Amino acid sequence: MIRVALDAMGGDNAPQVEIEGVAQALRELPAGFRMQLVGRTADIEAALRSHADVDRKRLDIVEAPDVVGMGDKPLAAIRGKPKSSIVVGLTLQKKGESDAFISAGNTGAVMAASTLLLRLTPGVQRPAIGTMFPTAQQPVLVLDAGANVDCDARELVGFAHLGSVYARDVMGRPQPNVGLLNIGEEEEKGNAVVKEAYQLLRRSAGIHFLGNVEGRDIPAGEARGQPLDVVVCDGFVGNVVLKFYESAARVFVALMNRASPDILQRPEMAGVLKVLDYATYGGAPLLGVQGVSIICHGSSPARAIKNAIRVALKAVESHVTQDIGAEFAQGGAVA
Amino acid sequence: MIRVALDAMGGDNAPQVEIEGVAQALRELPAGFRMQLVGRTADIEAALRSHADVDRKRLDIVEAPDVVGMGDKPLAAIRGKPKSSIVVGLTLQKKGESDAFISAGNTGAVMAASTLLLRLTPGVQRPAIGTMFPTAQQPVLVLDAGANVDCDARELVGFAHLGSVYARDVMGRPQPNVGLLNIGEEEEKGNAVVKEAYQLLRRSAGIHFLGNVEGRDIPAGEARGQPLDVVVCDGFVGNVVLKFYESAARVFVALMNRASPDILQRPEMAGVLKVLDYATYGGAPLLGVQGVSIICHGSSPARAIKNAIRVALKAVESHVTQDIGAEFAQGGAVA
């Protein structure tokens, strides 16, 4: 029985949206898991009252009276609010009483608390946020999406290993193709860090390296005629592109709806909507810590919470944490 | 009479697309300019034969027998092919025989030749490529979009000045709002370079600095409730986002057309298409050189060439080169 802890106080519309997401997950996902709702018991109970369909035997409420705000400084929040839903939820996992943690709360606080409490996988220099980008083909995992603003070449190589294991275990890509995000295909392109990373990746055992890829290759989902599975970049570039994409998708949808309010409801538009809807993928794993920690948007709708639960279950079932441990223990990391 | 030199051999479908673009420009844009078609005379004459409507009295053909290929190394191409359309076209401007240059050819070669032949504006450390991003509101100028892979904080401040003058002169924004592209709004966010640039921009006279902006603010066309006119970033990030955006727009259009082939032809979709069609803006100026040099996509359709001619005319008429010179002479650059 997999135990998934959810920060019930995390998102912009917590705990209502979180509870609705849990209700959807319990209804729609295969059984074999139970939920741990972490937060203010009274608020959670109140939100549960409008979900009579939820099987209370499949969930526990774990009291956490403190709430970390979206504007709180991460480290100060973790230290100053030890009874917050973020710290309490991750502590459950640290103590072996939970298998995964999901939060739509303060991203910086979730990252910091995950690193402090779960600890880095030995051999990992820095954890990375992996985000799924919808494409014209299969989705592509882009990492890092914001955990690290400055990265050296070895850290980028580490991200390639983290992403490759995640793509194999969770995304079902037996031999994931990895691209290095750059401003041109040729190996001499880019800044000093990506040039060095290119040379290191070319020689990395266990990485199926496609070479440099460009911004255009992400939405296309392929590079040089091969499907793209993992794209490696520093967290500055990854974060800018992620937020740009989400906003562009929102703008497209808003303009479409303004132009013709019924159009996106039509069945033939499903393929278009798929590319525009980040809620499909639910959450972004923090990779490189010894546990499962999934970060969701503050504005996640219930469906995104449900899908984050799905991702968390898949991560636990596939033993991605252990496989990352093995990858780095076997010298997967750059020595 | 403004004289616009066009690299007739530049794009992927040169010279046909270039000549078609010139035909559109002569037909649709206000008179008061003449075109200089630079390239192989025989090829240009052949392409002109299918455009009987073109007023030959409004164009000159300037022979340039060498052609720079898309894969040629920029500096080697400039030195090894002194009779190329790029070198010949820019030399016209250097000698005072032309007012603007437009090319859909090898971007690196156009940048290098523009810098070598037109020379940097005194006080400018590095030239920048300015690209127009369509948004939900007015278009936003993002620079640098790829001329510089590594930038220090002072160079980013220089881009803010280049972009502000261009926005005033060419985009018609009397007091342009400038944002610094970052991964969060707070001043302590980002890597060392953007943190330093933030502090310098805050104190820069003549820059209306909105503060940090995020990837999401570009498609929205606003930040903190104010319209966004200029976004400053290094050429690595700018290039990745630009190519990502163009590709996402192409994927979206392809999916729409597959889902419902007639839909984008409908009049109510004009607003949606506007956001998806980079050809509207035609070309990207190389800012910070002493002249007008406009870089177009290799795959530019004729309409993009026509719009690049429109941009070139506006740049010449508004004296943007002189105004940039004055901005940097007056200490607009960081001392």
Residues of B in contact with A69 (CB under 8 A): none
Q: Which residue would you say has higher pLDDT here, B74 or B282?
A: B74
Residues of B in contact with A235 (CB under 8 A): 183
Q: Output the pLDDT for position B304.
A: 94
Q: What is the mean pLDDT of chain B?
A: 93
Cβ A183–B240 below 8 Å, yes or no?
A: yes
The reply to whether B20 falls in a domain is yes
In this complex, the residue of B235, B250, B272 whose CB is nearest that of residue A259 is B272
The reply to whether A329 falls in a domain is no
The reply to whether B235 falls in a domain is yes
Distance of CA A143 to the CA centre of its chain: 9
In this complex, the residue of B236, B270, B275 whose CB is nearest that of residue A252 is B275
ipTM surpassing 0.95, yes or no?
no
Residue % of chain B over a pLDDT of 90: 82
Cβ B251–A191 below 8 Å, yes or no?
A: no
pLDDT band at B335 (very low <50, low <70, confident <90, very high): very low
The reply to whether A31 falls in a domain is yes
pLDDT tens digits, chain A, 335 residues: what are they?
999 999 999 989 999 999 999 999 999 999 999 999 999 999 999 999 999 889 999 999 999 999 999 889 999 999 999 999 999 999 999 999 999 999 999 999 999 999 999 999 999 999 999 999 999 889 999 999 999 988 999 999 999 999 999 999 999 999 999 999 999 999 989 999 999 999 999 999 889 999 999 999 999 999 999 999 999 999 999 999 999 999 998 888 888 888 888 888 888 888 788 777 777 777 999 999 999 999 999 989 999 999 999 999 999 999 999 999 999 997 655 54
Residues A203 and A306 in one domain: no
In this complex, the residue of B146, B149, B272 whose CB is nearest that of residue A252 is B272
Three-class SS of residue B252? helix
Cβ B190–A239 below 8 Å, yes or no?
A: no
Residues A153 and A257 in one domain: yes
CA distance A96 to chain B (A): 34
Residues B46 and B68 in one domain: yes
Residue A298 forms contact with B (CB below 8 Å) = no
3-state secondary structure chain A: CEEEEEECCCCCCCCHHHHHHHHHHHHHCCCCEEEEEEECHHHHHHHHCCCCCCCHHHEEEEECCECCCCCCCHHHHHHHCCCEHHHHHHHHHHCCCCCEEEECCCHHHHHHHHHHHHCECCCCCCCEECEEECCCCCCEEEECCCCCCCCCHHHHHHHHHHHHHHHHHCCCCCCCEEEEECCCCCCCCCCHHHHHHHHHHHCCCCCEEEEEECCCHHHHCEECCEECCEEECCHHHHHHHHHHHHHHHHHHHHHHHHHCCCHHHCHHHHHHHHHHCHHHCCCEEEECECCCEEECCCCCCHHHHHHHHHHHHHHHHCCHHHHHHHHHHCCCCCC
In this complex, the residue of A192, A247, A258 whose CB is nearest that of residue B215 is A247
Residues A36 and A72 in one domain: yes
Q: Output the pLDDT for position A48.
A: 96
Q: How many domains does chain A have?
A: 2
Q: Output the pLDDT for position A335.
A: 41
Residues of A in contact with B217 (CB under 8 A): 247
Q: What is the pLDDT of residues A60-85, one digit of tens each?
A: 999 999 999 988 999 999 999 999 99
Cβ B269–A259 below 8 Å, yes or no?
A: yes
pLDDT band at B173 (very low <50, low <70, confident <90, very high): very high
The reply to whether B324 falls in a domain is no
**Is residue B180 pLDDT above 50, yes or no?**
yes
Residue of B nearest to A248 (CA): B219
Residues of B in contact with A214 (CB under 8 A): 239-240, 243
Residue B136 forms contact with A (CB below 8 Å) = yes
The CATH number assigned to the domain holding A164 equals 3.40.718.10
Q: What is the pLDDT of residues A30-60, one digit of tens each?
A: 999 999 999 999 999 999 999 988 999 999 9
| Vertex B266 angle, CA B261 and B267, to 5° | 160
Residues B76 and B208 in one domain: no
Residues B54 and B118 in one domain: yes
pLDDT band at B51 (very low <50, low <70, confident <90, very high): very high
Residues of A in contact with B237 (CB under 8 A): 236-237, 240
Residues B236 and B101 in one domain: no
The reply to whether B294 falls in a domain is yes
Residues A116 and A129 in one domain: no
Q: Output the pLDDT for position A198.
A: 98
Residues B94 and B176 in one domain: no
In this complex, the residue of A219, A237, A242 whose CB is nearest that of residue B251 is A219
Q: What is the pLDDT of residues B207-254, one digit of tens each?
A: 999 999 999 999 999 999 999 999 999 999 999 999 999 999 888 888
CA distance B275 to chain A (A): 8
Residue B253 forms contact with A (CB below 8 Å) = no
Residue B50 forms contact with A (CB below 8 Å) = no
CA distance A44 to chain B (A): 31
Residues B111 and B93 in one domain: yes
The reply to whether B272 falls in a domain is yes
The reply to whether B330 falls in a domain is no
Q: Best mutation site among A137, A213, A236 for testing chain B: the one with the most B CBs within 10 Å?
A: A236
Residue of B nearest to A234 (CA): B237
Residue A42 forms contact with B (CB below 8 Å) = no
Residues of B in contact with A270 (CB under 8 A): 259
Those of residues 179-238 in B touching chain A at CB distance below 8 A are 181, 183, 189-192, 214-220, 233, 235-237
Cα separation, A10 vs A19, whole angstroms: 11
Distance of CA A23 to the CA centre of its chain: 21
Q: Output the pLDDT for position A78.
A: 93
Residue B261 forms contact with A (CB below 8 Å) = no
Residue A255 belongs to domain spanning:
125-279
pTM confidence score: 0.94
Residues of B in contact with A187 (CB under 8 A): none
Residues A225 and A300 in one domain: no
Residues A311 and A274 in one domain: no
Residue of B nearest to A146 (CA): B183
**Is residue B327 pLDDT above 70, yes or no?**
yes
Q: Output the pLDDT for position B109.
A: 96
> Mean pLDDT lowest for which of A263-272, B27-36, B56-65, B160-169?
A263-272
Q: Output the pLDDT for position A331.
A: 65
Cβ B216–A244 below 8 Å, yes or no?
A: yes
Reported as type and span, the H/E element at residue B90 is: helix B85-94
